[in-house]
Amino acid sequence: MRYRTLATFQPEKETRIRRTLFYVPGSDERKIHKSISMKVDCVVYDLEDSVSDNKKGIARHQVIDALEASEHGKTEKAVRINAVGSGLELDDLNLHSKRLQTIVIPKVQSAKDIQFVSRMIDVVAVESQRERIRLIASMESALGIMNIKEIATADPRLDALIVSLIRTSSRKEMMFPRQTIVNAATAYGLQAIDLVCVDYQNEQVLLEECKEGREFGFSGKQAIHPSQIDTIQRTFLPDPADVEKAARILEKTEMFAAKGVGAFALDGKMIDMPVMKWAQKIIDKAKAGGMKIPVMTPRNETE
């Protein structure tokens, strides 16, 4: 059975699954070449911190070539520009590529940073691509966290919030900003992407961070090494039990909708619009991750 997105809450724009945001230095030709064939939800070509000042120009040319490569498949293609106000952001935004899908804005302090980049897209981006380009805001300061509401509502292009703060291995000092970002993202219909695991050679630490982030409500995590990708993408998949439950909910939703019923009981619990939205999100994420969606067998369930 195919489960269609319910028309009553179908999003205005296509949902992009971002379990992993994988950063690739724009100045490293070898790593760029390897990234083109990687199976990852989102690859972010970096023009900022991983690129020295004397290689910014070379990096921009190499990133354009990487964006134009056709081997990416379903991977979302993003670029992290230099911070607004750095004096480098204007050259970064002049990336004339029809394949650019997302811009990551670092060190966001206020709504003005988001709005500036959005206005520039309307001016310099390839015209046929302008409506498709999304923005991701990287929160890297206490001021940014304090301005989270105005940032989260700054522009319709904004699609996700990233936590990018200096942290200790315990992550205890990061609890407030991380949960603040998850709360804002949930409130305003955005994705929340968790911290980078800097201990990239320790898979156990990475798995622990992934599970914690998922429990906090993050939809994905940043990655800086190819070995992190599989663990992150696997951990941020829905639980099989949740997928089965969601499939049943959507099946019954369609059945009862045909009868003009908006809410119904399933396994002794009320199923209404918020639960239907949850079920649709679970199925969408499961499909994007290549999970098998169960075909439900008929049951004698009543309203």
The residues carrying an active-site annotation are 272
Residues 47 and 56: their CA atoms lie apart, in Å, by: 7
